[in-house]
Amino acid sequence: MSRTTEPRENMRAQSLPVILARGQELAELRKRLQARRSFLFHGPAGSGKTLLLQHALSEYEGILYSSQNRSPQMLYRNLSRALLSVRNPVLINACGDKEAALQEKTSIAVKGLVQVALRGSRFVVVLDHLACPSQGLASSVRDLMSGLAVPVVAVARSAHMEDAGFVSPLFPDRSERFGLLNFDPETAILFAATFAEREGLRADNLGQFLHQIVEYSDGNPGAILQMIRMAKAPKYAHDNHIKITPLYLDYRIATVTQ
């Protein structure tokens, strides 16, 4: 029996972090998932794509999530594990509900099982963290979308070739692309102040610090949150003031080396 993408009211994302200032984007993401059409979901690193996905995907059945997709072989391996985890009969019959049995199968056999399981199903495939996918991987995504009629949500840092790679041409229309932007300055300040309070951050120059990190981050929520958490370290405190410049330099060094 195939799964559907109907909302699961009893499986809301209660344990996930609260989303601030993203209500409209979350609603749009839910709408697109409900429509079961392929689209490219893009936005800068740290803008909150994966967090929004976690909230939205937890509300639906029939989602096959894959976060590491460096090759066609890895893509089909990930999908096979996802199908096995939801006890898809094709994978259960082939592997007896055992991960070890699945691992022993060749890449060709795994691909065949996944294609049989997906053909005529109601699954939606989500490919997170795409990083300039190759032409071979894009060809596999095209096979899912066209050959098997499986909706695919491709997730990348931008819709351009340097991030979405050869997957980008699979979504030529603007309606097939959903972009997540950094916060505008006013929203970013509210976001920063809210999380500083939640993190229990106190300092005499807190207001200056928050305005500075909003400017430094260009309103990126992930960067704002990371610098707020860094500011709690004793090394960045002096006379109840946050040492903003050393903190920011260390943040930049950390992001370059990641």
Helix (H) or strand (E) holding 177: strand 177-179
What 3-state class would DSSP assign to 102? Answer: helix
The helix/strand count (H/E) of the chain reads as 12, 7
Q: How far apart are CA 69 and CA 84, in angstroms?
A: 18
User: What pLDDT, on the 0 to 100 scale, is given for residue 16?
Assistant: 52
User: What pLDDT, on the 0 to 100 scale, is given for residue 203?
Assistant: 98
Q: How far apart are CA 251 and CA 226, in angstroms?
A: 8
Q: How far apart are CA 4 and CA 126, in angstroms?
A: 14
Assess contact for 60 and 9: CB atoms under 8 A. Answer: no
- Model pTM score: 0.89
Q: What average pLDDT values come out for the chain (258 residues) when binned by 10 residues?
A: 42 54 94 95 96 91 93 97 95 92 96 97 96 96 97 97 95 97 96 95 98 98 97 97 98 86
By residue count, the chain amounts to 258
Q: How far apart are CA 95 and CA 98, in angstroms?
A: 6
What 3-state class would DSSP assign to 179? Answer: strand
User: What pLDDT, on the 0 to 100 scale, is given for residue 12?
Assistant: 42
User: What pLDDT, on the 0 to 100 scale, is given for residue 58?
Assistant: 86
User: What pLDDT, on the 0 to 100 scale, is given for residue 9?
Assistant: 38
